[in-house]
């Protein structure tokens, strides 16, 4: 780990030794106000993640991403491939949201919301502290030979890690194939469902590898969002930052000595205790400035505030601030840029929520049969033939379905298979229908028609199509 105070820049990541080997990070157990807030955020998010596939709304799983069968439920609303446009719009909104959010507030998402950090820091790392102890004890244990104590502690830890990884893989499976299917597979046993059980074990192994060994390397070298930081952050971005003006002053940082007039000696408020370095889960020294490894977890803020309290200096030597705040010695303010970005972010989320709610749960499509032209009936009516598709996205059957021609009162609509049919839940019905309109109501070659779809006499959707008529010579 690079803790050299004279380090001015690095051309390699902070967890690599000079000879290119991995420097294992043993972060000190964090404590403090921000860590307590993070715990509450993580309890909420973990609960949400673990219970979402097991909650049902109107019979629909709350969150479901069944890619293989193309079934998706978001907040209990079923989505069909026909709703793909919503997915594309959500993706676009998501990308804009991430970019705006990061430009304004830095990598706060990584430290506080990202599942990787939450599982690593709030689940696996806490188990590690409970079994192996804090930083010093962990380092000692690692140096110990493989004798009873080390075998028991490491063995217990790895067994618990494997069990939790298996649990996480099961929850992810419930998101993918539905919790009902998962329970069915559990009852039937793994041997009956080897095609699912083997991928489940592979995912368990991946989670185990990530949380037991790969750890902070995910955020540093694997995560594309982390790699984007370099282009998204600027001088105005709020990040976890060390106030070097205050910490270094004219003559730099220096160990604390009681009754010493540091101000007169020109030393800054940093007492070079290295607590901010020891607590960092990505193994960096935030005093070297904003670095790509920093996930904004705020552990160093808590650690430094505790030291500042002990030496009776004001808190906030490490704090949320922009480079500009620190250079110009300005306090953190919720500036116009942040307000503007927050408004845009709120509007984007509002649009997405609005679109989710106005989306219909029944979708009717009407298409004139390709290659067919109009027909003139014996009674003089003009007739066109159509195919229709009625998609039922709800979790109940739609019964007694009939179609009515809304656009032309004197016209007629005839369903080939007859009216009063049913569309099964989460299913569709297709068929052919004829629309006949008196020729005196047709005033051009191409006319608009609109049909209403009724279930048990109640209008549930409308669909439009064009209606071909004879060419009129005026």
- The footprint of ligand SF4 (CB under 6 A) covers 240, 242, 247, 270-276, 279-282, 284, 286-287, 294-300, 303-304, 307, 317-318
Cβ atoms 342, 254 nearer than 8 A: no
Q: How does DSSP assign 285-299, residue by residue?
A: -GGG---TT-----H
Helix (H) or strand (E) holding 35: helix 33-51
State the minimum distance, in angstroms, from the CB of residue 27 to ligand SF4: 8
Nearer to ligand SF4, 267 or 393 (CB): 267
Q: Is 59 left (phi over 0), alpha (psi -120 to 50) or beta?
A: left
Q: Strand, coil or helix: what is 137?
A: helix
Which residue lies nearer to ligand SF4 by CB, 299 or 321?
A: 299
Q: Give least dist CB 9 to ligand SF4, A.
A: 16
Closest distance of CB 216 from ligand SF4, Å: 8
**Minimum distance, C-beta of residue 111 to ligand SF4, in the bound complex (Å):** 6
CA distance 8 to 149: 41
Residue 108 or 200 with smaller CB distance to ligand SF4: 108
Nearer to ligand SF4, 325 or 392 (CB): 325
Buried b (16+ CB within 10 A) or exposed e, 234-256: eeebbbbbbbbebbbbeeebbeb
**Distance between CA 308 and CA 297 in Å, rounded?**
19
Least distance to ligand SF4, CB of residue 462, Å:
54
Q: Which residue has the tokens 């102890």?
A: 133
Nearer to ligand SF4 by C-beta: 327 or 375? 327
Q: Residue 426 CB: number of other CB atoms within 10 A?
A: 17
The first and second tokens of residue 326, run together, are: 């620190």
Question: Is 240 or 326 the residue whose CB approaches ligand SF4 more closely?
Answer: 240
Q: How far is the CB of 297 from ligand SF4 (least distance, A)?
A: 4
Rounded Cα distance, 363 and 173, in Å:
30
Phi, psi of 398 (to 5 degrees): -105, 115
Q: Cβ closer to ligand SF4: 147 or 329?
A: 329
Say how many CA atoms lie within 13 Å of 260 toward its Cβ.
Answer: 13
Cβ 110 to ligand SF4 shortest distance, Å: 8
Q: What is the C-alpha separation between 49 and 352, in angstroms, rounded?
A: 21
> Which residues have C-beta within 8 Å of that of residue 142, sequence separation ≥ 6?
24, 26
Q: Which is nearer to ligand SF4, 247 or 411 (CB)?
A: 247
User: How far apart are CB 312 and ligand SF4 at their closest, in Å?
Assistant: 13
The answer for residues whose C-beta is within 8 angstroms of residue 243's C-beta and 6 or more apart is 316, 317, 318, 319, 321, 326
Q: Which residues pair with 449 in a beta bridge?
A: 465
CB of 218 to ligand SF4, least distance (A): 13
Quick one: CA torsion of 454, 456, 460, 465, rounded to 10 degrees? -10
**In the bound complex, what is the minimum distance in angstroms from residue 3's beta carbon to ligand SF4?**
10
Which of residues 83 and 285 has its CB atom nearest to ligand SF4 in the complex? 285
**In this complex, which beta carbon is closest to ligand SF4, that of residue 77 or of residue 320?**
320
Q: For the chain, what is the largest distance between any 2 Cα atoms, rounded to a whole number of angstroms?
A: 111
d(CA 240, CA 170): 35
């Amino acid at each position: 780990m690079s803790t050299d105070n004279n380090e001015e820049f690095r051309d390699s990541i902070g967890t690599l030794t000079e000879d290119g080997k991995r420097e294992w990070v043993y972060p000190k157990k964090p404590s403090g106000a921000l860590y307590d807030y993070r715990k509450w955020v993580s309890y909420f998010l973990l609960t949400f993640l673990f219970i979402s596939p097991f909650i049902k709304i109107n019979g629909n799983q709350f969150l479901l991403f069944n890619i293989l069968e193309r079934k998706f439920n978001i907040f209990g609303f079923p989505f069909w491939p026909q709703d793909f446009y919503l997915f594309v719009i959500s993706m676009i909104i998501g990308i804009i949201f991430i970019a705006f959010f990061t430009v304004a507030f830095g990598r706060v998402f990584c430290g506080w919301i990202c599942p990787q950090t939450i599982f690593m820091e709030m689940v696996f790392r806490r188990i590690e502290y409970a079994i192996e102890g804090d930083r010093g004890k962990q380092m000692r244990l690692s140096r110990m030979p493989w004798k009873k104590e080390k075998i028991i502690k490491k063995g217990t830890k790895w067994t618990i890690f494997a069990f939790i990884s298996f649990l996480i893989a099961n929850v992810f499976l419930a998101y993918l194939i539905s919790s009902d299917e998962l329970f069915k597979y559990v009852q039937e046993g793994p041997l009956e469902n080897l095609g699912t059980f083997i991928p489940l074990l592979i995912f368990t192994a991946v989670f185990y590898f990530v949380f037991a060994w790969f750890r902070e390397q995910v955020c540093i070298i694997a995560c594309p969002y982390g790699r984007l930081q370099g282009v998204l952050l600027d001088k105005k971005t709020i990040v976890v930052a060390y106030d070097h003006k205050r910490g270094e002053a004219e003559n730099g940082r220096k160990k604390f000595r009681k009754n010493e007039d540091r101000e007169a000696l020109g030393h800054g408020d940093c007492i070079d205790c290295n607590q901010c370095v020891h607590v960092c889960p990505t193994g960096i020294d935030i005093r070297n400035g904003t670095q790509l490894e920093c996930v904004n977890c705020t552990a160093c803020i808590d650690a430094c505030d505790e030291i500042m309290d002990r030496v009776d200096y004001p808190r906030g030597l490490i704090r949320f601030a922009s480079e500009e705040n620190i250079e110009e010695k300005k306090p953190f303010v919720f500036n116009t840029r942040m307000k503007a970005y927050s408004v845009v972010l709120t509007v984007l989320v509002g649009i997405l929520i609005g679109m989710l709610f106005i989306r219909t749960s029944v979708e009717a499509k009407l298409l004139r049969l390709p290659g067919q032209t109009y027909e003139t009936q014996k009674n003089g009516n003009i007739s066109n033939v159509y195919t229709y598709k009625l998609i039922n996205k709800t979790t109940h059957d739609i019964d007694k379905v009939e179609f009515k021609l809304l656009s032309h009162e004197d016209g007629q609509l005839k369903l080939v298979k007859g009216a009063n049919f049913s569309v099964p839940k989460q299913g569709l019905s297709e068929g052919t229908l004829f629309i006949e309109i008196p020729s005196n109501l047709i005033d051009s070659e191409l006319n608009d028609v609109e049909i209403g779809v009724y279930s048990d006499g109640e209008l549930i959707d409308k669909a439009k199509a064009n209606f071909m008529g004879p060419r009129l010579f005026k």
